[in-house]
Amino acid sequence: MLRAHTVEQVRRAEEAAMAAVPEGTLMQRAAAGLATAVIDLLGGAYGSRVLLLVGAGDNGGDALWAGARLAARGARVEALLLSEQVRADGLTALHAAGGWATRDLDELSTTPDVLVDGIVGIGGRPGLRPDAVAALARFEGVPVVAVDVPSGVGVDTGEVDGPHVRADLTVTFGTHKVAHLVDPASAASGALHLVDIGLDLPEAAVEALQTDDVRALLPRPGWDAQKYTRGVVGVRAGSATYPGAALLAVAGANAGLVGMVRYVGPAAVADRVRAAHPEVVGAGRVQAWVVGPGGGDDAAAMLADARADGVPVVVDADALRHVDGPLPGCVLTPHAGELAAMLDVAREEVEAQPLEHARVAARRWDCVVLLKGHHTLVADPGGRVRVTTTGVPWLATAGAGDVLAGLVGALLAAGLEPLDAASVGSWLHGAAATEAADGGPLTASRVAVHIPRVVRETLSPPESGLLG
């Protein structure tokens, strides 16, 4: 599990660690990891030109000490001091190693090969001061390595408000931070490199499933399995106007993770569903429902009928408009526009603060909320949040959400808890899209086709050389 902690959690862990080791040990560990990452990025230190952007606080200190190590390895290191109060010990070390520092942007001697962003620490507020903005603008196009987090982003929220660093690589210490995973700030981090500095950390604020986690959670049929014990998922979706939504939702549900799929909907749509999926049957008992994709005017009745069965429901698309109270045990799967309508706020607010709005929605409706996006968020009413980091931009295509809803419903019917079903389903959906795209465009139908292959590869042991 990839875990991301808040600033307060990190600070408490650092205080505990510092009490057990000599003074300065954590900063030296961080600086060593940062210097190594910069050398790897440059392909070597000797002769390279490095510019440190140094603010007050420990991130500036990390940059200075890393700069001293780089200078000792033969790099030409300059530091632009963006605060009157920088770490004196780090500045002394940089000078002793042959580095140079100035407070005047115009005194810098050459265009660097890399910028090291030590402008703002993890306790900084979103946005940057004009002098930092000017320095970044002067060297636009030069690769940027951020120290811990890109300066200027909301570390605990993933929000951005004003100018901020856009890093090619972020070297973070002890643990990932929320801003590394949560949009829109996650897009500013670039590649992530975690340096272990010896912190003992509590339960994370935000998590992201990895292959091993998905492997452990995926349902597997036992030796005595039969179609009913493996789970039965029902799909109420589609209309004369949108029959394709039913086909796609059924395709997601029918990826092989349950023993049976039932479809209930307009007769003409049902005929098309069974022509495409002859193993799908009609009405009957289910362990979970998927409701809403393409439901149009019938979505309210679809939701009411599904809720009457007293089983978990995945509420998607048109059915989201008819959520009128708590839905414990269920999963809502809105995109930003749909969640904005449900919360009566502007879409731009949800896109600017997805973590906050996903948590608010999960509490309001007492259920798991899967907020679709670049990094999809899955929040439960208790405050737990998982982020999906699989997927490709090509996944932003019509019908992809219908496939996802069906897949999450199948995992619910197979026995996974709502948080697990939603986060595992989102992970598989993104991984299937990555495989289906193969570097190019894709359609929702192709995503559904690739789900069984991704499941097989995920279940394969790591030594097989497949996905794990």
Q: What percent of the chain has pLDDT over 90?
A: 95
Structural domain of 113 = 2-208
What average pLDDT does the structure give for the chain? 95
- Give the model's confidence band at 340: pLDDT under 50 very low, under 70 low, under 90 confident, else very high: very high
Where a domain ends, among 177, 208, 239?
A: 208
Write down the residue that tokens 């439960």 correspond to. 380
Between residues 126 and 348, which one has the greater pLDDT?
348
User: Are residues 301 and 222 part of one domain?
Assistant: yes
Question: 398 with 444: CB under 8 angstroms?
Answer: yes
User: Are residues 300 and 229 part of one domain?
Assistant: yes
User: Are residues 305 and 183 part of one domain?
Assistant: no
Res 464: pLDDT: 45
| pLDDT tens-digit series, residues 140-178 | 999 999 999 999 999 999 999 999 999 999 999 999 999
User: Are residues 246 and 195 part of one domain?
Assistant: no
pTM, full prediction: 0.94
Q: Supply 315's token pair.
A: 């509420």
User: Are residues 30 and 52 part of one domain?
Assistant: yes
Neighbours of 411 (CB within 10 A): 30
Res 63: pLDDT: 97
What does the pLDDT average to over 360-384?
Answer: 97
CA distance 251 to 443: 13
Question: 45 with 66: CB under 8 angstroms?
Answer: no
Question: 389 with 283: CB under 8 angstroms?
Answer: no
User: Are residues 289 and 202 part of one domain?
Assistant: no
Question: Which residue type occupies 298?
Answer: D
User: Are residues 204 and 215 part of one domain?
Assistant: no
User: Are residues 219 and 107 part of one domain?
Assistant: no
Where a domain ends, among 179, 208, 237?
A: 208
Res 466: pLDDT: 43
Res 467: pLDDT: 43
CA distance 392 to 388: 11
Question: Which residue type occupies 413?
Answer: A
CA 195 from centroid of its chain's CA atoms: 20
What does the pLDDT average to over 127-145?
Answer: 95
Strand partners, 79: 52, 101
User: Are residues 184 and 216 part of one domain?
Assistant: no
| pLDDT tens-digit series, residues 375-408 | 999 999 999 999 999 999 999 999 999 999 999 9
User: Are residues 217 and 155 part of one domain?
Assistant: no
| pLDDT tens-digit series, residues 248-273 | 999 999 999 999 999 999 999 999 99
CA distance 278 to 274: 5
| DSSP code for 309 | T
For the chain, helix (H) and strand (E) counts, in that order, are 16, 18
Question: Which residue type occupies 166?
Answer: R
Res 101: pLDDT: 96
209, pLDDT greater than 90: yes
Q: How many domains does the chain have?
A: 2
CATH number reported for the structural domain that contains residue 221 in this entry: 3.40.1190.20
User: Are residues 448 and 425 part of one domain?
Assistant: yes
Where a domain ends, among 178, 208, 238?
A: 208
125, pLDDT greater than 90: no
468, pLDDT greater than 70: no
Write down the residue that tokens 């500095």 correspond to. 197
User: Are residues 346 and 226 part of one domain?
Assistant: yes
CA distance 175 to 201: 8
CATH number reported for the structural domain that contains residue 137 in this entry: 3.40.50.10260
